[in-house]
Structure 1
Amino acid sequence: MSVTTIPTTDSAPLTREAGNRLVEGWTALWNGDVALAGQILAPGFRLHFADDFDGTGSGYTFGQDELAAFISANSHALTGLTFAAEAAPLVDTERGEMACRWSESHAGEDGDVVVKSGIDMFAVADGRISAVWSLTGNRRFAA
């Protein structure tokens, strides 16, 4: 997937269309297209998890390279791992911020499908994602 970013400045704030494209790229990145990291993530990008994951510890954040490695490792560890945006993102065009609800599914150890949900909150600068705060739940949000 090729994602074209739209630079944002004080005179050209983030648009809903650009926000939608960034979330599409973010979802594709999590679905294994790690080459998108350089296109959609700003230099100095940081991902902040609300939950601790193996090897992360409290307060750990990912930069671009760590994120790509984490995504690759998870896609190999979990059979059929897929991510999907659950709805169009909420885009604050004045502040350059977005929020999106998403779901993850993969095959569990017993073969049953495991589904989780989460919410990501994004800061956007110059048309690229500069920071994400991510909260993952152990079950799917009700629609």
Structure 2
Amino acid sequence: MTTNVSELVDGWLHLWNGELDRAAGLVTPDFRVHAALMGGGDSSALSGPEALAGWIAQTRAAFTDLTFAIEVGPIVQDDLLAVRWAVKGTYGGGFPGAAAEPGTSVAFTGTDTLRIAGDRLAEYWVNSDIHVLLAQLEVG
């Protein structure tokens, strides 16, 4: 591992906080996402910086002022790093199945595990408390 972990974590946090142009310099061209998608599909199509930035933009589209913060980490082992994060924001509408009114405050947490290759992030596994978000949005 040749890069500064704190720079990767800082870049990752800024990326999720809406600085989507960071994706190209932060992740490898063949970056892979491993996540359960809201539509029920797998994440195999989410590969590379553009797909990652598009997925983040789609996530942020339903919420205004979405702000991620690191709660724990980074925890580093070999070429892997993990962070526990918390996010807060305001529901802006348009989430499938949501009965909550736009303007509803939302907050939930999760854990990201990332694989480092050289000086970039190459792979991403996410485990989030999505059930907490769905309850706040009154998805039923």
Name the TM-score, length of structure 1 as normaliser: 0.75
Contact map agreement 2:33 2:43 (CA 8 A) in 1: no
**C-alpha distance in 2 between matches for 1:125 and 1:88:** 19
Q: 1:34 aligns with which of 20, 41, 57?
A: 20
Q: Which runs of 5+ in 2 are unaligned?
A: 92-99, 134-140
Match for residue 106 of structure 2?
A: 114
Report whether the alignment pairs 1:46 with 2:29: no
Match for residue 86 of structure 2?
A: 103
Q: What's the secondary structure of 2:73's corresponding residue? A: coil
- The residue type equivalent to 1:25 in the other structure is G
Match for residue 90 of structure 1?
A: 75
- The residue type equivalent to 1:65 in the other structure is E
- The residue type equivalent to 1:62 in the other structure is L
Higher relative contact order (CA 8 A, sep 6+): 1
Q: What's the secondary structure of 2:53's corresponding residue? A: helix
Q: What's the secondary structure of 1:101's corresponding residue? A: strand
Match for residue 6 of structure 2?
A: 20
Match for residue 66 of structure 2?
A: 81
**C-alpha distance in 1 between matches for 2:72 and 2:82:** 10
Alpha-carbon shift at residue 87 of structure 1 (Å): 2.5
Alpha-carbon shift at residue 59 of structure 1 (Å): 4.8
Q: What's the secondary structure of 1:89's corresponding residue? A: strand
Moved over 4 A (4+): none
Structure ranking higher in strand proportion = 2
Match for residue 41 of structure 2?
A: 57
Q: What's the secondary structure of 2:5's corresponding residue? A: helix
**C-alpha distance in 1 between matches for 2:107 and 2:86:** 7
- The residue type equivalent to 1:103 in the other structure is A
- The residue type equivalent to 1:38 in the other structure is A
Aligned residues: 122
* Identity level (%): 30
Q: What's the secondary structure of 2:65's corresponding residue? A: coil
Report whether the alignment pairs 1:134 with 2:126: yes
